[in-house]
Amino acid sequence: MSLFGVLKLFRCPICLYLGLILGIGAGVTSSRAQTIGDFYKNTPIKMIIRSEAGGTYDVYSRILSRHINRFIQGQPTMININMPGGGGIIAANYVGMTAPRDGSIMSMIGLGLPVDQALGLNKSLRIDLRDLNWIGSISSSNQILVTWRTSKVSSLEKAKEIESQIGSTGAGSVSQQYPAFYNAFLKTKFKVIYGYAGTNQLNLAMERGEIDGSGSTSWAQYVMEAPRLVREKLIVPIIQVGLKKEPDLQHVPLLLDLAKSEEEKAAFRFLSNSVNFGRPMATTPQVPADRLAVLREAFAKTMVDEAFIEDVKRSGGEVRWMPADELTELVKELTATSEPLKARLRTVFGQ
């Protein structure tokens, strides 16, 4: 029998009053036990990193881990877990389907996944990105197709005249999709060569003369991971994709500026918006609203924190952050692309 049931048997007003006080006190104690500060003091946050150690996803995620807990009540312990594979799909599926839904998970979602979902390009992506709770994007950097400095293809116009071999990490990757997109809309003559494990291998292949260029890599990745190629001007940027030109690449054509028809405007905007997705952080679906608000507030404070910004700069990166509400709307816009455009892009990407 409950405490109130026992007290009622004695029909004692004073006892009932004391019981009520005890009940309220127990409720307050229980509520306090569930405060956000206590939760995060006792529960570590696991940072799920979608790539192996050393890449930009890994670097940005680990830098964020070093700083964001200072702005979260309870200052939780941060645990970094690398979960590579599938171009980020393995990590995204884990976050969206399997991981705890209590605010103890954060992950940087792969740049190409909104395109995958919108166009249905990869059936192994089993989640709906709109179900994730978006925290904010740390930075965005334009995607660049480059050629080696000795290649005959030294400009976009040359790429329309001369066939060139462009390296890719595989079918379905942005390094394959973007050259295919340029061939379809800009009439370039890129021949995509598959089989390279990553950016480092593509850079070595260009330097050895195996290929003319690399299909698509973010400018920030070149600056952070291969600064020698940038500093010594060993690579030649041919075209950039984003909402505006990189400060260092004002001389390089921006895809958005090249549209000549309404269809091209829509297609170029779609691709450019996907690049603006940047380096976005998300947590699992169904996180309690108060904990989600704390994570989003902590992220926003971290993005303007001097120590965090300096840490990013030391790694060769930069902070161009986007708040949670803008990122959420961007995901909705990308996944709500019109059916005619989807059909056209599926054809372009070879699906």
Q: Looking at the domain that runs over 40-139+278-348, which CATH code has it been given?
A: 3.40.190.150
Residue 351 confidence class, pLDDT cut points 50, 70, 90: low
Domain ranges across the chain: 40-139+278-348, 143-274
pLDDT at 19 over 90: no
Residue 11 confidence class, pLDDT cut points 50, 70, 90: very low
Nearest to 337 by CA among 277, 278, 275, 273: 273
Q: What are phi and psi for residue 23, nearest 5 degrees?
A: -65, -45
Q: Looking at the domain that runs over 143-274, which CATH code has it been given?
A: 3.40.190.10
pLDDT tens per residue, range 36-85: 999 999 999 999 999 888 888 899 999 999 999 999 999 999 999 999 88
Q: Output the average pLDDT for the chain.
A: 89
Whether 143-274 and 40-139+278-348 are alike in CATH topology: the answer is yes
Full-model pTM: 0.80
Residue 172 confidence class, pLDDT cut points 50, 70, 90: low
The residue type of 280 is P
Sheet strand arrangement including 280-283:
78-82, 45-49, 105-108, 280-283, 133-137, 322-323
Q: Please, where are the H alpha helices in the chain?
A: 3-10, 13-33, 36-42, 56-68, 89-93, 113-119, 156-161, 174-186, 199-208, 219-225, 227-231, 262-276, 289-303, 306-314, 324-335, 339-348
- DSSP code per residue over 38-55: HHHHHSPEEEEESS-TTS
